[in-house]
Chain A
Amino acid sequence: MQAKYFAIFVAVSIFLFVVELIRKQKMTFRYSVFWLSACVFVLLFSIADHLLIPTAHFFGFTLPSNFVFFLVQVFFLFLSLFLTLYINEQNNRTDTLIQQVGILQFRVKQLEKEKGDGPPTPETN
């Protein structure tokens, strides 16, 4: 029985923490969805804990605890997969920005040269 309340406590805490992070604009909804839905999932199974054993059996797990461990592993597997995806996305964006900054810098230099006065010196400012 105590494990049930402990699970509810952890799920609610994480849920509230994530909501707080969104409120403080430290996390966007897009990246929090994964965590929020995991919390809801844990909450549902903790409150309706009589469903855990039949569900575990349905998926072929003799011990419900093994089923829970399996779910946790799947959760982290997907989490790291998504994180890899995000890193890649960030990488591509940074690369594009670097390339565009390089081209823009070149164009600015060219314009300055065309104007004939070169880059502005600190004294004239």
Chain B
Amino acid sequence: MTISKRVLIMIPAYNEAKAIDFLVREINRLYPSFDIVVINDGSTDATEQLAESAGANVITLPINLGIGGAIQTGFRYAAEEDYDCTVQVDGDAQHDPASLLNVVNPIINDQVDLCIGSRFLAEGSGFKSTYMRRIGIRFFARLLGNLTGIPLTDPTAGYRATGKKLIKEFANYYPIDFPEPEAIKIAQRFRARITEVPVKMRKRLGGISSIRYFSTIYYMIKVTFAILLDCLKKSK
């Protein structure tokens, strides 16, 4: 398969020294034609050095911004460098690079503008998450499904690819904390074509889920509020 479009793999990483080296080398081996940028979100460990020595470009933020700020940095860089497609892969190596083309191909073939990798669509998916997390995922799937008319199974997933049109918009504005569900609503406001594809998830190699730091209740209220408020914004 020949890929003429330029693809940027964005890996947000905060203290992911345990996983980053392995992840970057794995992606480089599987997809040598794709560029990798690790957004080192003010890590205090050796994430930067390890990612660099593994062969990735590393953008180091001087201050920790959180996942939203890190991803937005990636979008900014992608917009400046005029990439056709970005893929977000979590720095803890939970997102299996074997599924990368599943999310990238619909963008490269210009079928959709936002392609979300769903761990629940994969056949025989043995992925288990906590009970609260599952409730949250189902809640947002239904809320976003009702608001956007797009059937979703995994709206909180970070494993997703974005096309050129949305890269520009996300470079300008991206939600700060817990950005994933809100980003779907924003994408829909920009009349993006959105779809879900099956992806494989692995056990995390290191790091701590950003969600564990906050109470799930706060997460639910904040994101619901943000999504509902986005409905009040003018669609483009």
Q: Spell out A's residues near B (CB within 8 Å).
A: 94-95, 98-103, 105-106, 110
Q: Enumerate chain B residues within 8 angstroms of A101, measured Cβ to Cβ.
A: 61-62
Q: Enumerate chain B residues within 8 angstroms of A105, measured Cβ to Cβ.
A: 59-60, 62
Say whether chain B's binding surface is mostly helix, strand, loop, or mixed. Answer: mixed
A110 to B37, CA, bound (A): 13
**Is B76 touching A99 in the complex (CB atoms < 8 A)?**
yes
A106 to B61, CA, bound (A): 10
Q: Spell out B's residues near A (CB within 8 Å).
A: 39, 57-63, 65, 69, 72-73, 76-77, 80, 176
20 more contacts with CB within 8 A, not counting A98-B63, A102-B39, A103-B76, are A94-B63, A95-B69, A98-B61, A98-B69, A99-B61, A99-B65, A99-B72, A99-B73, A99-B76, A100-B76, A102-B60, A102-B62, A102-B73, A103-B59, A103-B73, A103-B80, A105-B59, A105-B60, A106-B77, A110-B57
Q: A106-B57, A106-B58, A106-B60 known; A99 and B80 CB under 8 Å?
A: no
Q: Enumerate chain A residues within 8 angstroms of B59, measured Cβ to Cβ.
A: 102-103, 105-106
Q: Which 6 A-B pairs have the closest CB atoms?
A: A102-B61, A99-B73, A106-B59, A102-B59, A98-B63, A98-B61
A110 to B52, CA, bound (A): 12
CB distance from A24 to the nearest CB of B (A): 30
List, sorted by A's number, 15 A–B pairs whose CB atoms are closer than 8 Å: A94-B63, A95-B65, A98-B62, A98-B69, A99-B65, A99-B69, A99-B73, A101-B62, A102-B59, A102-B60, A103-B59, A103-B73, A103-B80, A106-B59, A110-B57
